Structure 1
Amino acid sequence: MMKKQTYKWTAGVLLSLSVFTAACSSGGTETTPANTADGGSAADSKVVKVAYGKWNDTDVWGKWLTGVKSEFEQQNPGVTVELQPIQGAQYATKIPLLMSDAKTAPEVLAEDSFMINADSAAGYLEPLAVDEWSDWGQFNEGIKAAVQGKDDKSYGVPFSTDVRGLYYNKALFEKAGLPVPWEPKNWQDILTAAQALKDTQPDIIPFWMNSGKAGQEATTMQTFEMLLYGTQDTLFEDGKWVTQSPGVMSALQFIDDIYSKGLGPQLSQVMTAQAGQVLETDLMPNQKVGIVLNGSWLPATWASTGSKPWPEALDVYDFVKMPTETGQAPGYTSMSGGWTLAVGANSAEKDLGWKFIQMAVNEKHNKTYAMLDSALTPRTDVAADTEYVNQPGTLYAKAADVIEYTHVRPSNSDYPLVSTAIQETVEKVVTGGADPQDAMTQFTQSVQRSVGADKVMTK
């Protein structure tokens, strides 16, 4: 996930960009255009630059896009696709720098759906003629809304979506005398289970959630918003950001309860950019965590093609819906996001970029990606594919049960600024730098400074 984009130029940033650009041109995939299939020279070849996040050594996105690249070049003689992998931890800061310069702007880029509004408003993304594309009717209608800018134009095509919930370790639960299967009905059920895990097994982490600025958007969405949208309140109402409400207080209080009672991980484990990778490849496979608040994509790490193959993963950990605060209707809650492919507005070959996207997310290639990454597909035809649905080691069936309870992040260009303020607020509570009440007050002040007091409200 991505964090706040500042888009400010400094001498140091310019130097970093020039170094990064040089690195892409010398060490990326297929960076030197070859002779074209119809006899043209390398100088005549058009280049489609495709920037994407390389999240781990498995590089599932790279495998998917390499297959698209091969087919696209075969069908478009004289065109070379240049894949530009960017380390995941650096993606949020490097991609806006590339987009803002016509010399480096990629024709195609992976864009987190929550950045669509801000980046389209900044002029970094090209609107796409999705209504003229026959495949657009195969995409989930609710997910389409996530790629619309303030002008109601579409600036990306989703290639994945997700839901969030609770993973719990069945063996650790049984050892703690807790019921299996476990179906928590409210937040108190979660706290009670976490306390029982701590009391019976002091060497494990009872409850894990993303908990600081290093977690970036994962802290905002998978922790704070998962809690907030399980209350009676939301983050954005009537055109204003709700920074003080009973729901905000409840979310911060739950976080405080976890850490003040010693039910969470050590800060040294969770306050790093590598926390998620450590969770997925070490802590969970070694059964060191009782309950994990996280997303439906985790099984991708444990697949045979993942960075930590673990065939027994979903026998060890079950996945259940996150309850609302008191069990109030509708009973459960979730958040959904996902990634898109977009066209850089400052790129040289925008038409070819759009053509590449249509191929990359067609039925064949989206199915390939979804099965490689254990991802939820946004395409209704792929979702009905029996090979996809019945793929072992995935959560497709359970995730489908969660979608009806899900929410999406506010579609507002100020969201990245508010998200950063949320991450800072959560970290203050986790580290004991502020109690929930003071943290909520400071959250309000931070958002007011970022977006203006006239855009903030109290409930």
Structure 2
Amino acid sequence: MKSVWKKGLKVMMLTALPLSAAALTACGNSQQTSSSATNQSSNNKVIKVAYQQFGAPPIWSEEWLKKAKAGFEKDHKGVNIQLEPIQASENDFYTKIDLMMKSEGTAPDVVTEDTFLINSDASAGYLSPLNDYVNKWSDWSQFSDAMKAGSTGSDGNVYGVPYSTDTRGIWYNVNLFKKAGLPVPFAPKNWDDVLTAAKTIKEKAPGVIPFWAQVGKATGEATTMQTFEMLLYGTNDTLYDDSSKKWVVKSQGFLDSLNFIHTLYSTGLGPQLSQVLNGQAGNTESQQLMPKEQIAMALDGNWVPGSWQKGGAAAWPDGTKTYQLAAMPTQNGQSPGFTSMSGGWALSISKLAKNKDLAAQFIEYAVNKENDQWYDVHQGNLSPRNDVAADPDYANAPGQAFAAATQFTKFTHFRPANPQYPSVSTAIQTAVESVATGAATPQQAMDQYAADVQRIVGASNTVTK
């Protein structure tokens, strides 16, 4: 699962209710959350944990939760962690989990939240604040401030504990670049360098996809964040004006970003539309085409090698020798020279949870140093914990690109912390797909986007630059 998860520093954290004495004892040890008092008070308790189950096995998020379940139940006799997988693509998962949290009969105790939804789900009353829990939890100090901010709502409350984050860049195939006479390592200085490389690949390595970028509505946030926002935040414009608190519905940067996408898909530099206009596009990219070296460049996240790990869905031990990660340049090489987007996933407690204290204890156990490091190394995500990031076993994990991806945090961006963002994101996906398919020109797509967003948030809450 990514922060797209997909797929994002994917940004997150927690807040909420008072801890019992037993819970305080548990919080004192990041490796164990048990005590005799906890065991006595938690007999026959069920904690329901809902999460997305998508893609080919092994699904590392599921394996991580199974690992946490086994350890927690061993330390808490009488507690049953009930894992509730939701088999759905990203957008469908968001819809289904919201429906579950609306009803007492279906609401889970713990839910995996893509951090870009935390604000809207909290505003809708689906999530419990976690401030009282995290403020008394010693491990909370190990989480980066950026990740804490990403899981804090507009009301100042923490609504999630992050368990992964990410950055994005360009995965390029060393062998194909050498074959095409392109420089290795690849270090593009602007968009023209990227497009020139793609055109060279098309000419020198026919049959290979020069540049992969998600552009379909079916891939949801991956299209918004990994493609459009990676471009937009490399221009001089943004999606949201923090000073005026208004959405920027028209700007030169917005138009230039759509023009970049138009160039890719109108000149044969991107994949076939049949490959990207479906919810499985990300798996097709990382688990099928990249292992066959049929993609020269892919605009994607640092988690891509997660599928290539031993026992992964597309095991490929030498994957990160063949594909290396380059920073995405700004449009014209303007300061700071590069750009990235970060997001992440968090564990939250639903408002209608029946066992909030135990749910908080489970979250603390699931994201302790040992468990969080296990998950992020296998999944290929960046850890939101400073102690994990500093661990040599994590930083130098074979088959990953943690060192390079972590450097991207110096110039990364985050999605607007605004409850209206999910609806705006959907409008972006529509605009991007219409340009990629040729259904609209970049100008027409931007005009329609402006009209859609003005309808969503109100014309007075938008601005043109």
Q: CA deviation at 1:74?
A: 2.1
Distance in 2 between residues matched to 1:38 and 1:141, nearest whole Å:
33
84, 108, 112: which one aligns with 1:110: 112
Residue 24 of structure 2 is matched in structure 1 by none
Q: Does 1:127 align with 2:129?
A: yes
Q: CA deviation at 1:374?
A: 2.0
Deviations 1:191-220 (A, max 9, x none): 111111111222111110001101100000
Residue 84 of structure 2 is matched in structure 1 by 84
Residue 68 of structure 2 is matched in structure 1 by 68
Residue 47 of structure 2 is matched in structure 1 by 48
User: Which residues of structure 1 form unaligned runs of 5+?
Assistant: 4-36
Q: Is the 8 A contact 1:205 1:288 kept in 2?
A: yes
Residue 269 of structure 2 is matched in structure 1 by 263
Distance in 1 between residues matched to 2:300 and 2:370, nearest whole Å:
28
Q: CA deviation at 1:384?
A: 1.1
201, 206, 210: which one aligns with 1:202: 206
Distance in 1 between residues matched to 2:183 and 2:407, nearest whole Å:
21
Q: Structure 2: which amino acid aligns with 1:437?
A: Q
Q: How many residues are paired up?
A: 424
Distance in 2 between residues matched to 1:156 and 1:370, nearest whole Å:
17
Q: Hey, which bits of structure 1, 4+ residues long, moved more than 4 A? A: 37-40
Q: Structure 2: which amino acid aligns with 1:86?
A: I
366, 384, 387: which one aligns with 1:381: 387
Q: CA deviation at 1:372?
A: 2.0
Q: CA deviation at 1:305?
A: 2.9
Q: Does 1:138 align with 2:142?
A: yes
Q: Structure 1: which amino acid aligns with 2:297?
A: I
Deviations 1:368-418 (A, max 9, x none): 212221221000011111211121011111012111010000000000000
SS at structure 1 position matched to 2:236:
coil
Q: Structure 1: which amino acid aligns with 2:65?
A: L
Q: CA deviation at 1:2?
A: 7.5
Q: CA deviation at 1:88?
A: 4.1
Distance in 2 between residues matched to 1:88 and 1:359, nearest whole Å:
26
303, 310, 317: which one aligns with 1:311: 317
SS at structure 2 position matched to 1:160:
strand
Q: CA deviation at 1:39?
A: 11
- Structure 1 stretch 108-117 or stretch 351-360: which is displaced more? 351-360
Residue 346 of structure 1 is matched in structure 2 by 352
Distance in 2 between residues matched to 1:318 and 1:66, nearest whole Å:
31
Deviations 1:422-445 (A, max 9, x none): 000000100111111111100000
Distance in 2 between residues matched to 1:375 and 1:247, nearest whole Å:
29
Q: Structure 2: which amino acid aligns with 1:241?
A: W
Percent of aligned pairs sharing the same letter: 49
- Structure 1 stretch 322-331 or stretch 92-101: which is displaced more? 92-101
Deviations 1:129-163 (A, max 9, x none): 22221111000111110001111010000000000
Distance in 1 between residues matched to 2:98 and 2:146, nearest whole Å:
27
SS at structure 2 position matched to 1:159:
strand
Distance in 2 between residues matched to 1:207 and 1:443, nearest whole Å:
25
Q: Is the 8 A contact 1:421 1:443 kept in 2?
A: yes
Distance in 2 between residues matched to 1:371 and 1:195, nearest whole Å:
35
TM-score (normalised: structure 1): 0.90
TM-score (normalised: structure 2): 0.89
Distance in 1 between residues matched to 2:181 and 2:350, nearest whole Å:
54
Q: Does 1:455 align with 2:454?
A: no
Distance in 2 between residues matched to 1:136 and 1:456, nearest whole Å:
37
Residue 32 of structure 1 is matched in structure 2 by none
Deviations 1:171-192 (A, max 9, x none): 1112212111211000000111
Distance in 2 between residues matched to 1:401 and 1:47, nearest whole Å:
41
SS at structure 2 position matched to 1:116:
helix
Q: Structure 1: which amino acid aligns with 2:363?
A: I
Residue 432 of structure 2 is matched in structure 1 by 426
Q: Is the 8 A contact 2:338 2:411 kept in 1?
A: yes
Deviations 1:330-384 (A, max 9, x none): 0000000000000011121111111110111111211121222122100001111
182, 188, 191: which one aligns with 2:186: 182
Instruction: Name which structure has the greater RCO, CA cutoff 8 Å, separation 6+.
Output: 2
Q: Structure 2: which amino acid aligns with 1:124?
A: Y
Deviations 1:268-305 (A, max 9, x none): 01101111101111110101111100000001010103
Distance in 2 between residues matched to 1:180 and 1:2, nearest whole Å:
29
Deviations 1:234-276 (A, max 9, x none): 1000211101001101100100111111111110011011111
